[in-house]
Structure 1
Amino acid sequence: MVIDEQWDPKPKKGIPDMPIKEIPPIFVNILRSIGILFIILIIFSVMFGSIFVSVGAGEAGVKFNQFGGVEEEELGEGLHIVPPWVSVTKYSVRSETYTMSEAQNEGQITGDDQIKALTVEGLTLGLDITVRYRLIPDDVSNVHQKLGANYAEKIIRPTIRSSIREVVATKTALQVYGEERQLVAGEMLMSIDNALGNDGIVVEEVLVRNVVLPTKVAEAIEAKLQADQDAQRMIFVKQKEQLEAERKIIEANGIANSTIAKAHGEAEALGIINEQLAKNPNLINYKYIEMLQGQEIQTMLVPTDQGIILDASS
């Protein structure tokens, strides 16, 4: 069989001839190093845990280094890569609430957890309190190191109870129970916030949801509040009646002024008439005759000193 060495197969369409170049050794070494590093990371992840940490919305992560303890820099929201020897504890930095109430299963503690506090008169009040607070994101590491994950029971609960009692001790029962309740709640907020500020906790609101008084005191306060309301109502009625009396006085003065003005007008008009009569005495006869015109009369009499008698029958 004879092979024609001059035969050249027809090249395929669309595939140009490209020379094959060898990969430089430096790139081969880089790829090999990346592969080895990736394998090492996988081995460490399997042995010590994942190196990828996801911090959710409204959270902050605290890093604990096995060789150095708690690190100051917190992890923000998102995905992070941390060394295998670093563990991350996540804390919520959203607004949280702590409730102490008499009602069952309403607060963090099951059963009656109402705060009992003495007023300035020595009366014992029961208070249902809800405190809204949040952690400062940049201080979460300090909270983790000093207090731990159970910080609410360790610091927030006793601070609330102590501050509430201190504030109530300077107030009367009526101030805590009555219209000044919001002002008292504001003082409680300031007291609790000052106490927790150094621990990386911000207090946003204090709600005094219910105040329980001794029965006799409650009845006395209710009676006083009712008396105050009645007094306010009487003041309102008195003011209303006074305004009505003033209105009538003004109205009477207006009528009197109108009458006086009318009298002055009539007097002035009479003065003008008298003045004209003095100038022309016959004017009164003329007005008298003018008034009688159109009336059914047979005879009209006029003063005899005028010497005039009119026969109205014609």
Structure 2
Amino acid sequence: MVVEGEWEPESPKKVPEFPISEIAPILGKIGRGVVIIFVILIVFSILFGSIFVSIGAGEVGVKFNQFGGVEEDELGEGLHIVPPWVSVTKYSVRSETYTMSGVEDEGQIEGDDQIKALTVEGLTVGLDITVRYRLLADEVSEIHQNLGTNYAEKIIRPTIRSSIREVVSTKTALQVYGEEREVVAGEMLTNIATALESDGIIVEEVLVRNVVLPTRVAEAIEAKLQADQDAQRMVFVKQKEQLEAERKIIEANGIANATIAQAYGEAEALRIINEQLAKNPDLINYKYIQMLQGQDIQTMLVPTDQGIILDASN
């Protein structure tokens, strides 16, 4: 019996029960749906090309939509699913090199591909050049749209050639061939990097691997460089000898100062001794006795004018 006003606990709600016999058909339907979707994807892949695209390490994928052209967003590394009407072109965003060399099969172009440039004196020099570069990952779509996969031949090669010739035209053959080669390479790097930056290409390094001069000019430059090295060596030897002479002077001055100081010290000591002897003539006898202490003396000669050295009565 329930008294009015008293609290009565609510009866628990019943959770609907699904018999196992009803769950099995639901799972079966889901499984069939997944299989159907998978089969449809396979059919699309067979009819229209693969819709699964794998982008490797150090790569990005550029999507080309048959209905809208190049899409701005690139595909990163990994597996992607794209519609069948979208094709993907892969580009490397790792560091790459472009080499132009006079050595056969060393560069991108077979045969003699050495860059010929005129110096400020009007001399023709040959240069073997290697440029290290990479593509900006978020600008690869623009490169694909504006230049295509052959971007190296379309933009990198001509830019390198023109930039190298521009820098060499302001330098002497000695600057390009000699110790300033690294400085010249730095200017080349700046020129090429500035020219390619707007195309989404980053230039990391320019290597001037070899410089070929006319034989007569090369011999003259070698002779000048050798003369400069000899002159620098003579300057070094002269400086070394001068430093050695200065060291000897300083050493001699130190010895002289030490001798003078020692002489002054001895003279001062003698002066003090003479003063003390003048005040106390017997002091010399006392010092003489101190000197004899601890020695085994059998016979001792005493000057007759000295009197008694030691007063035995005391």
Secondary structure in 2 matching 1:20: helix
Q: 1:281 to 1:63 in 2, by over 3 A?
A: closer
Distance (Å, rounded) in 2 between the aligned partners of 1:144 and 1:87: 13
Following superposition, the deviation at residue 279 of structure 1 comes to 3.6
Distance (Å, rounded) in 1 between the aligned partners of 2:22 and 2:283: 144
Conserved in 2, the CA contact under 8 Å of 1:100 and 1:115? yes
Following superposition, the deviation at residue 289 of structure 1 comes to 11
Distance (Å, rounded) in 2 between the aligned partners of 1:35 and 1:289: 127
Aligned to 2:249: 249
Aligned to 2:62: 62
Following superposition, the deviation at residue 284 of structure 1 comes to 7.4
Q: State the TM-score, normalizing by the size of structure 1.
A: 0.79
Unaligned 5+ segments in structure 1 are: 1-17, 309-314
Where do residues 1-314 of structure 1 align in structure 2 (5 Å cutoff)? 20-21=21-22, 38-279=38-279
Distance (Å, rounded) in 2 between the aligned partners of 1:256 and 1:266: 15
Following superposition, the deviation at residue 141 of structure 1 comes to 1.1
Conserved in 2, the CA contact under 8 Å of 1:285 and 1:302? no
Following superposition, the deviation at residue 38 of structure 1 comes to 4.8
Secondary structure in 2 matching 1:21: helix
Following superposition, the deviation at residue 302 of structure 1 comes to 5.9
Give % identity.
78
Secondary structure in 2 matching 1:126: strand
Following superposition, the deviation at residue 224 of structure 1 comes to 1.8
Distance (Å, rounded) in 2 between the aligned partners of 1:295 and 1:38: 129
Question: Which amino acid is 1:89 matched to?
Answer: T
Of 95-104 and 177-186, more deviation after overlay is shown by 177-186
Distance (Å, rounded) in 2 between the aligned partners of 1:201 and 1:156: 9
Question: Which amino acid is 2:56 matched to?
Answer: G
Of 271-280 and 221-230, more deviation after overlay is shown by 271-280
Q: 1:31 to 1:279 in 2, by over 3 A?
A: closer
Q: State the TM-score, normalizing by the size of structure 2.
A: 0.79
Following superposition, the deviation at residue 248 of structure 1 comes to 1.1
Distance (Å, rounded) in 2 between the aligned partners of 1:190 and 1:260: 67
Aligned to 2:310: none
Q: 1:295 to 1:210 in 2, by over 3 A?
A: farther
Task: Give a deviation string over 1:243-271, Cα, whole Å, max 9, x none.
Answer: 11111111111121122122212322332
Aligned length: 287
Following superposition, the deviation at residue 145 of structure 1 comes to 1.1
Distance (Å, rounded) in 1 between the aligned partners of 2:267 and 2:35: 124
